[in-house]
Amino acid sequence: MKFVDLEKEYDYFGGIDEKVSQVMSSGHYLLGDQLASLEEEFAAFIGKDHGIGVKNCTDAIMLTLKAIWKPGMPIILPNFGAYPTAVASRNITDNIYYVDVDRSLTIDPSKMPDVKNGIVIVVHLFGNNCDMAPIMEYCKSHNHLLIEDCAQSTGSGSGIKGDYSVFSFYPTKPLAAMGDGGMICTNEDPEIFKQLRFYGQSGADIHRVGINSRMDEMQAAIVRSKLSGFTLLNQNRREICERYRKIVRSYDIREGCVFHQFVVLFNKRDVVVDALRESSIPFIIHYKHHVSEVAALSGKFNKVSYRVNDKCISLPCHPFMNTSEIEQIEEFLYKHQEYEYEE
């Protein structure tokens, strides 16, 4: 059993070799037709006017912040999840407020700080959508711009409600390249983002200080080849995870969840981890620390009230699992459901 099976995903999507070969023979490897087409097609899929392809999602967050952040503006982030969201933000400022997650493992709208005129970055973690209505109301009342981090939730319906949304095409993500890739989506004029990803340059002139963050043509071609079919893989993950959820609650799921990971909160996690190893079932701990407890990422407000980092285990739910593998996970969950964390 594999935690993910990228070889089977490669076989599933026919025509990738042909697309890559066309790029290789074209002699045009950066900022060409493949990326321009992906930007247009992906933005239309999400429901935004513009897409701007960049090297990865971390760059997508950082470039969005470079475009909109002004000195003194606070940035508000969830205190649990993948670290790159915070890494990108800390590259801009240390004026960061970390907010607890709730039972959905996404940011808890009731815990938002009473600060104004800043930027909120919500993370649709593990493919599960945030509770957007109260978040948007909070942003409106406190005059915050809103960025949706959809790195793990492509295809869930996320990415349309924020002022900006960012996506990852990392190989294990729902819509995946075969290397790095990211996208910024917005209804605003995309020119500033196109400049920022190319040193700040437009034409022969440098207009602002940017970075080098170009998504290459081969990765764009690969993502394009999967765009029309990857939602079926999301559905396969949903069906597998719904079987698991008949045994364990996992976390609170919202409509549209694509189950980038299937996460269970366990008491006595070490006992469950030892049993997983004995059963040769692959697993990953997502994530070992709350973000603010990583010294390099510490911000202005770091209190953790709802602690989940010592309880989470991610189990295999990739869309190419066979029946016996799914049943093995189900059997394991039946045997160890007594350890599931209940509030």
Q: Which domains does the chain have, with CATH numbers?
A: 6-227 (3.40.640.10), 230-339 (3.90.1150.10)
pLDDT of residue 303: 82
pLDDT tens for the 343 residues of the chain, in order? 999 999 999 999 988 999 999 999 999 999 999 999 999 999 999 999 999 999 999 999 999 999 999 999 999 999 999 999 999 999 999 999 999 999 999 999 999 999 999 999 999 999 999 999 999 999 999 999 999 999 999 999 999 999 999 999 999 999 999 999 999 999 999 999 999 999 999 888 888 899 999 999 999 999 999 999 999 999 999 999 999 999 998 889 999 999 999 999 999 999 999 999 999 999 999 999 999 999 899 888 878 999 999 999 999 999 999 999 999 999 999 999 999 998 7
Backbone dihedral region of 98: left (phi > 0), alpha (psi from -120 to 50 degrees) or beta? beta
Backbone φ/ψ region at 96: left (φ over 0), alpha (ψ -120 to 50), beta: beta
Q: Report the C-alpha gap between 64 and 83 in whole angstroms.
A: 17
Report d(CA 23, CA 59) in Å as an integer. Answer: 24
- State the pTM of this model: 0.96
CA–CA gap between residue 167 and residue 171 (Å, rounded): 12
Output the pLDDT for position 342: 85
Q: Rg for the chain (alpha carbons), in Å?
A: 20
Q: What is the pLDDT of residue 131?
A: 98
Q: Which of 116, 105, 68, 141 is nearest to 260 (CA)?
A: 105
For residues 43 and 165, give the distance between their C-alpha atoms in angstroms, rounded to a whole number.
10
Cα dihedral 316, 318, 319, 323 in deg (nearest 10) = -20
Instruction: Count each helix (H run) and each strand (E run) in the chain, helices first.
Output: 11, 11
User: 3-class SS at 168?
Assistant: strand
Give, for 315, the enclosing helix (H) or strand (E). Answer: strand 312-315
